Structure 1
Amino acid sequence: MSLSVADVAAAGAAWVWMPDDAEVVADPEFTMLRLPDYVAFDLSVVSFTPARPLPRVVDAVVARARAFEVPALDWQVLLGDPPGLGAELAARGGRVKLELEILAADLSDGGPTLRPPTVDVALRWATDTTTARDGLAIEAAGFRGELPPAERIEAVAARNAETVPAGRGGLLVAYVDGEPVGTGGVAVVDGVARLSGGVVAQPWRGRGVYRAVLGGRLSYAVTHGATMALVKANPTTSGPILRKAGFTSFGPEPVYAVPLHA
C-alpha cells in the first residue's frame, strides 16, 4: 500500500482526541473541548468542518470560546483543513504555540525494523493502577501537565485492561531495572494505529527508549490489523527519530493559541 496525502489527511482528521472527562461543545461546524485541570491547556478545537464562509465560522468559534473565560483557545490547523485557516487565526491575534507535523508509515508489509536500544528495556501495558500511574507521571512531566487524580488513573488502568487484549490499544510503559523511563499510547481504529504521547524521562533520553516504545506499539498494531501508523509529532524531537524509523512527513500541523480577551 502506498500512502497518499489524501489518505493521511483523512486519517488525521478522523483522529479526534476527546477525554471522557472533558466538557464537549458540539456544533455542526466544529467541536470544542474544555479540558480537565490536569491537562496543560484549557480549551481546544478538535474538529472543524465549516459550511459557511471561513471568516464567519472562525468568528463563531472564537465567540463561543469566550464564554469559558479562559485566556486562549488552542486550535490545531490540520493537513486537510480549509486553505487560509492559519491566516484567519493569525488575523485574530493567534500565534503558533506548538509546531507539529503529521507523519505516517505503511504497515501493510509489517512495518519498519528498528534498531534496538542501548539499554535493556522491559515494556508493560498499563493494565494495572501502578503501571498506569508510572506512565501518566512520565507523560505529565514530559508535556508539562499534572498527574491526573487517583480515580482517573484507576479508570485508565481499567480501560487498558479491556482495550489491550481486545486489540484496540492502550498505554505502553518502558522500564529499565524496574524504573519507569518512557511511555507512549496507541489506539487501533479502522486499520490505523494512532500513536500518541511518546515521551522519555530526561535522564534516559538518547539510549533508544523511544524506539523501544515505538517498536512495541507498532508490533502490537500490526498484530491487530493496522495497515497505517499515524503520529502528530514535534519536528525537532520525536520527528527525526520517526523519520529514521521509516515514517514520512506529510506536512505541518501547527497549534495556534488564539487570545480570547483583550
Structure 2
Amino acid sequence: MSVPPDVVAAESRAWVWVPPNATRVETDEYLLVRMPEWFAIPLELLRFDPERPAEVVVDEMLTRARAFDQPFVNCWVKLHNDPGLDEVFSARGGELDETLDVLALDLADGLPDLGPIGHLELRWALDVATMRDNLQVSADVFGDSMPPADEIAEETQRALKDFEVGSGSVVAYLDGVPVGSGGISLVNGVARLWGGAVREEARGQGAYRAILDARLRRAASRGAHMALVTGRVQTSGPILRRAGFERYGEERSYRVPLG
C-alpha cells in the first residue's frame, strides 16, 4: 500500500531536529539554528512558516542570522513550503546547495526483502567506541569534524536512553573497519530514518542496504506503521526507491550569503 500524500506531508513538516548544544532563534514563523562547532554547516534555517509575506520574514531572519557572524546560512525549502520560496532565496544571492527526495514506505504489509548483508557486521552505537565510529563515518561522508571526547560520551548516554524506545544509530563494519552508519528515531509510530552514510571506497557492497534493513527491522519490532526518509537524489534516493519507498516530492537547501 501507499502512504497517503497528506500523511507524508504532515509527518515531513513535523520532522525538525535540533542537535544538543545548538543555539536556537525561534518564532512562530521560522526556526534559525546555530549548529555546534563541529558541524560542517554552521547556520541553518530549519523551519519556515510565514504568516506575513515571505520576503519580509526572510529579510527579518537574515538580519538575525548576521548576528552570528557567519558567511552564509543554509535555508531549506521543505515539502510543505510554497515553491515560490526558491525564488525568494535566489533573489538574495542564494545558490542551490542540496536537493533531497522525500520518500516514505508503508510498513503495514511487512518489510521489503533487501537481500543478504554478506560479510558485513552491524553494531548499534551503544558504547563509546562504536559511537566514535558512527560519528567518524558521518563526519567523513558529510564533511563535519569530530566532536570532542566529552560530547561523544554524552552522545553515548543519550543513545542508551533512546535505544530503550526504539531509536538509535547502527554502524556497518567491513573486515572490522567502520564503513557506513545510519540513524532511526521513532515518533508516534513513524520511523524517521536519518544520517545514512557509506564511505565512498566501500560503496556498492551492500552497506547502505544492510543499514536500511537493520533500521526497518527495529522499526517493525516496535510497531511502526510508516518509514520516512530524505535521500540524496544521486546516491541513496535510487536505493530507497528500489527498496519500495515512494517519492512524494523534494526538499531543497539554498546557501544564502550574509555578507
- Contact 2:31/2:48 (CA < 8 Å) preserved in 1? yes
What TM-score do the two structures reach when normalised by structure 1?
Answer: 0.95
Match of 1:176 in 2: 174
Match of 1:248 in 2: 246
Mapped partners of 2:92, 2:252: distance in 1:
16
Moved over 4 A (4+): none
SS of alignment partner, residue 57 of structure 2: helix
- Contact 2:135/2:146 (CA < 8 Å) preserved in 1? yes
Which residue identity is paired with 1:189? Answer: V
Match of 1:108 in 2: 108
Mapped partners of 1:51, 1:142: distance in 2:
37
CA root-mean-square deviation: 1.2
Match of 1:87 in 2: 87
Deviates more, 1:154-163 or 1:207-216: 154-163
Match of 2:190 in 1: 192
Mapped partners of 1:153, 1:71: distance in 2:
28
SS of alignment partner, residue 100 of structure 1: strand
User: Any unmatched runs of 5+ in structure 1?
Assistant: none
Match of 2:20 in 1: 20
Per the TM alignment, residue 48 of structure 1 is displaced from its structure 2 partner at its CA by: 1.3
SS of alignment partner, residue 66 of structure 1: helix
Match of 2:214 in 1: 216
- Contact 1:105/1:111 (CA < 8 Å) preserved in 2? no
Mapped partners of 1:202, 1:43: distance in 2:
26
Match of 1:58 in 2: 58
Q: 1:206 aligns with which of 195, 204, 211?
A: 204
SS of alignment partner, residue 75 of structure 2: strand
Match of 1:157 in 2: 156
Corresponding pairs, count: 259
Per the TM alignment, residue 165 of structure 1 is displaced from its structure 2 partner at its CA by: 2.5
Mapped partners of 1:103, 1:145: distance in 2:
25
The C-alpha deviation readout for 1:72-109, integer Å capped at 9, x for no partner, is 11011111012411111111111101121111111122
Per the TM alignment, residue 6 of structure 1 is displaced from its structure 2 partner at its CA by: 1.6
- Contact 1:92/1:258 (CA < 8 Å) preserved in 2? yes
What TM-score do the two structures reach when normalised by structure 2?
Answer: 0.96
1:260 aligns with 2:258: yes
Match of 1:237 in 2: 235
User: Any unmatched runs of 5+ in structure 2?
Assistant: none
